[in-house]
Structure formats: structure tokens, C-alpha cells
Chains A and B, each alone.
Chain A
Amino acid sequence: MSTQPATANATSEEEPLSLALSIDEEAAHSVIGDVPAESVMETFHLNVYYGGFHAVHDINLTFGKNEITALIGPSGCGKSTVLRCLNRMNDLVPGARVEGEISYHGQNIYAKGVDPIAVRQHIGMVFQKPNPFPKSIYDNIAYGPRVIGMKVDNMDDLVEEALRGAALWDEVKDKLKQSAYGLSGGQQQRLCIARTIATKPDVILMDEPCSALDPIATSKVEDLMLQLRDDYTIIVVTHNMQQAARVSDRTAFFTAKPDETTGNRTGLLVEFDRTKRLFSNPADQRTEDYISGRFG
């Protein structure tokens, strides 16, 4: 992990300045631009710790309804960590601790008495590596609705609807009973998206959904994301600047700040704004360096 002193970072020109600031001062300097009017999820002073290690510091974000929000930033700055907190998948990491609040339609999902299972039924997730179940294509889709006890009149229709929704139906309609492992990587990833929308969530989280795919499969998934935006709120982590620029409405740029004494790198939010603005006219020097490829 990144417990060793961050040397890669120390070459940045801004380093002396940012080292002089405490992390709290720095977090206070986050540039929060245009915030969505109608929000689905919000984080308030979100801090995440893995054991004694402070992974992300004081994240305040607002995710707009029917928008695609991209989380970008150098490796290890806590994008996946923030994303996993949004549907409480981080609960599964031993030693992980979350402070602050994440509200979903005004309800704090970390409040006492909130069932993480119920949270995940509303907030689905697509992973970096396609992870279909070792079952047939049909059963991959039907699994979610079955386990959460969704009332389904006709499972066949639901499966078709989900596969159409993920732009996969035409490719697999003749082999629904075949193993999902026979599909290509890109098809598997769209199957995972279909599997997620089959449970009719509200928000879909995606952690680098295209990083294991070739350019053609990537563009298919990107088209799909734009299409899904009409019905879902999407939050996507990506390392691909062009992808963030192409698909997202808003972008949050994170960076990792090394602690002076321990060298542990703690992630914090630098800038959050409309994607167009953030990419064309970034307010923070670090954002500009990152998106122009000079850093990270």
C-alpha cells in the first residue's frame, strides 16, 4: 500500500506550498463550482479510515439526478473508497471506518438502523473487472430480482428488458441458457450492467468500468452510460480523461496529500464542477496539471 513516503508526488512544483498547509486548510480550499439543483446523493464531511490510516479527508459532494458524475484523480487518492462508501460496500472491508454523512434522498445511509442490504438494493454497483456469476446469462440477470424478493410477473420479460437496457439483447438472445463465461469481456461488462439494472436501482456506481475493455467495447459501454442517464443517476470512477470528458456532466477531481510525518497519502477533493468548465478552465493549478497530463 502507499504507506511509504510519496516520492512521486514530491516533484510537483506546488508541493512546498501544499505541504505548508494542513490538510484541513487544504480541504477548505476545495473549489466547489456549479452544484446540481436536484440531488440524489450528497456526502457531508466524509472521512474514511482503514484501521489507523486516514484514506480520504472531508469530502463534500453532490450527485445530481439523471446526471453522470465522474470521479477522477491519481491512483490511491481514494476514488474507489468514496465510491464504495456510497452503497456501503466498504462495510465489507475489515477495519474500514466511515465518519461523516452520506445522504440518499435526504436520508443518512450511515445512520443507526439503516440496513446496508436495503441501501445496496437502491444503489447498484458495477466493478472494474467484469464479474459475471458462473451461471447462464439468463440466471445472471434473474439472480438479483430473485434474491431481493422483487415482485416479478414474468421473469422472461424482465430479463429481456434488462438486456435490452444494457444494449446486449441482440447479441445474446439466442443463447440465454449458455454460460456467461462464454461472452467477451465487453459483453460480460454489459451483462453486469444489465444485472444491476434488473433490480431497478436508482443510482449506479461504476468503478473504472472500461479499464479491462478494448476501445470498441469501451465506446459501447460509454454509449450505454449516456443512454442509462435518462433513467438512472450514475457515478463513475475513471482514469481516462477523455472518457470523463465524453460522458460525464460533472467531474470531481481528487488528489492525495502526503502526511509530513508518516508519509501516508490522504485523499481530498480539489475541485468539483461541471465537466465542461473543469476541463476547459480549471480553477486549481493541480487540476490543470492533472487533466493536461503533467501529473499523476
Chain B
Amino acid sequence: MSSAATTAAAVTTSTLASGRSQDRDLRSLAFLGALWFSLFFGVAVLFALIVDTAISGAPRFDSALFTQYTQTFDPERAEALAATGRDPKDLSAAYTGFRSGIVGSIILMITTALLAIPLGVSAAVYLEEFASKTSRFSKVVEVNLQNLAAVPAVIYGMLAATLMAVVGVQRGIAIGGAVALALLILPVVIITTREALRSVPDEIRQGSLALGATVWQTTWRQTLPSAVPGISTGTILGLSRAIGEAAPLVMIGFGAINFAPEFPFVTSKIEAFPLEIFNAASDSKEVVQQAASAGIIVLLAMILGMNAVAIIIRNKFQRSW
């Protein structure tokens, strides 16, 4: 008998159609289960948190959340509501809102972007297009950038606070917070801009230079425009990290501002949304805590919205060279 025939004889129904699968034995299933658990643990916890927060904030998804300043006691409204027999203090607090925080955070984001984008993009352009790639200086900068990206936000807050003190401006004004947040996201902006510039093929630069364009013209008219989608994606992701930061703003002296910032906004004292949420969450009155929960959901929505915009830009303008 040939070996093929031997093999064929050995292959009987019992070996192939045994009704079991070796891929489905107990050990494999247990292992698979562990993988699934790991995957869903994080997602499930996050989901539970969001749902729980949304439920506790449910009574406060109203326009007052956006239009009202922080309310502790409003005699006028309290008097009008006193007839219902409830504690007037609670009743007025039920109308508390995050207007100053939301407005403050928007001012803060715009100022941060105005500081971080020109600085970060210029630094990246210098490193990618002008600096010698092999020089020791470039390597030192490279390592430092990676490390800076990992520095805790509080440190940037302290740095900015010191800077503001040295300059001699008031504590708690918008520009101070913007400096701290801009420092915080600068490494991210630089790194993503460099990546975006690097993805522009050298042939484009060479084509431009061969026509007699200067390096400056080539960068300004060819490389940078081609890198804009990458740059904006990175910047938006950086800003969405910055908008949720509270710690560096505490260092700068932000907080408890219950009025509209006055023009020009950058030198006005402002409140930041995450800080206001933090204060509301630690309030003794339950109605204020409810507002905090609703505020958290709003902040989350803002961050997710920014990330979504970044992803849309990336997908829409993605170019395969």
C-alpha cells in the first residue's frame, strides 16, 4: 500500500467529523473569553460612567445650563418661588448654569490656538525644511519634544504662572491660561505638523526648486498647503485635550468669575468650563450637583465633537501620493 492510501484509510469519519472542534475546546474558549473581557472592560466602564452621569444630570439639560451664570441665591426668583413651600435657596440654585465657564473656555481655546498654531507650525517647519537633519542640535530637540509631550499639565501651569508673575500681570486672566495650555499642546502640534510635512513627498519640493523657486517659496506654496489637513487634525486633537484641563488653570488662578468677560477678552478675568464643573460637583446642594453632571456631558460632547471634526478632516483630505 502506498503511503497516500494508508493516510486515506486512516482518515475515517471519526477523525474528521467528530462533532467537536479543537478550536472550541475549554482552554481556547477560556482564553477567548479573557480577551473579550479585556476588550470590553474599559469600554463598559466608560459607557457605565457616561450613562450614570447622563442620568443624574438629566433634569438639567435645559437652556439655563448655557445661559445662566452660577446661581447661589437669587432673592427675586426665590421670593417668587417661596409660595411653593420649598427652600428658596435650593430653588434659585436649581437655575444655576455654566455661562461664564463655557464663554471662558471658548475664549481660552481661541487664544490657545492663536498662540500654539503659529509657534508650533513655525518650529516644525524650521525643523523639517530648514534645519540640517543630521545635526546634533536637531537630535537634541527631537528627544526633548518627545519628552515635553509627556510632562504633566500642572507643570505647564506652574511655568505659565511664573511667567505671568515675572511679566507682572494679574492672576486669573485669559492670556495666562492660554499660555499654559499652549505650552501644554505645543509638543503635540510640533510633532503632528512635522509628520504632516514629512508625508509630503520630496519630489514636490524638488519640482518646485527646479523651477527656480526658493526654499521659502517652496515651503510656503507647496509643502505647507499640502500639509494643512495633517496640521489641523493634530491641532484640533491638541486643543481637545487642552479644553478639558483644569489643573494648570488652577495654578494660574482661574475661578469664581460670575460675569461676562469684557473686551479685549485676553486680558479679562475668565472662568473655565472644567473648573466650574469641578466646583459645582463639590457643592452641597443636590441640584447643583445635577447641573455638574449635565455640564460633564456637555464638555464630553464638545471634546468628542472636536475629535470628530479632526477625524473628518483627516479622512476627507487624506491623499495617497
Q: Which residues of A contact B (CB under 8 A)?
A: 87, 89, 92, 94, 117-118, 120-121, 124-125, 127, 129, 131-134, 143-144, 147-148, 192, 195-196, 199
Of A92, A125, A131, A148, which contacts B213 at CB under 8 A?
A148
Task: Say whether chain B's binding surface is mostly helix, strand, loop, or mixed.
Answer: helix
Choose the segment among B4-12, B71-79, B102-110, B202-210 that binds chain A (4+ C-beta atoms closer than 8 Å).
B202-210
Chain B min CB distance to A87 (Å): 7
B132 within 8 A of A: yes
Point out the residues of chain B lying under 8 angstroms from A117, CB to CB. 212-214
Query: How close is A50's CB to chain B, nearest CB, in angstroms?
Result: 13
Could you say which residues of chain B place their CB within 8 Å of the CB of A143? Answer: 208, 211, 213, 221
- A residues near B211, Cβ cutoff 8 Å: 120-121, 124, 143-144, 147-148, 195-196, 199
Please state if B221 and A124 are interface contacts (CB–CB under 8 Å).
no
Can you spell out 19 A-B residue pairs with CB atoms less than 8 angstroms apart?
A: A89-B209, A94-B134, A120-B212, A127-B206, A127-B210, A131-B201, A131-B203, A131-B204, A133-B204, A133-B207, A134-B204, A143-B213, A147-B211, A147-B217, A148-B211, A148-B212, A195-B207, A195-B211, A199-B212
Q: What residues of chain B lie closer than 8 Å to A147, measured between beta carbons?
A: 208, 211-214, 217, 221
Interface: B53 (CB within 8 A): no
One digit per residue, 1 when the CB lies within 8 angstroms of any chain A CB and 0 when it does not, for chain B 218-248 equals 0001100010000000000000000000000
Q: For the A-B complex with A120-B212, A131-B206 known, give 20 more contacts whose Cβ atoms are closer than 8 Å.
A: A89-B209, A92-B206, A117-B212, A117-B213, A117-B214, A125-B210, A127-B206, A127-B210, A129-B203, A131-B201, A131-B203, A133-B204, A143-B208, A143-B211, A144-B211, A147-B208, A147-B211, A192-B207, A199-B211, A199-B212
Across-interface contacts of B226 in A (CB, < 8 A): 134
Does B20 belong to the interface (CB within 8 Å)?
no
Q: Is B139 in the interface zone, CB < 8 Å from A?
A: no
Is B133 located at the chain interface by the 8 A CB criterion? yes
Interface string of B5-25 (1 = CB under 8 A from A): 000000000000000000000
Total number of A-B contacts with CB less than 8 angstroms? 64
Inter-chain contact A118/B221, CB cutoff 8 Å: no
For residue B86, CB closer than 8 A to chain A, the reply is: no
**Smallest CB-CB separation from B220: which chain A residue?**
A147
Q: B319: CB under 8 A from chain A?
A: yes
Complex Cα spacing A224 to B125, Å: 38
Is B221 a contact of A87 with CB atoms below 8 Å? no
User: A120: which of B133, B204, B210, B221 is its contact (CB, 8 Å)?
Assistant: B210
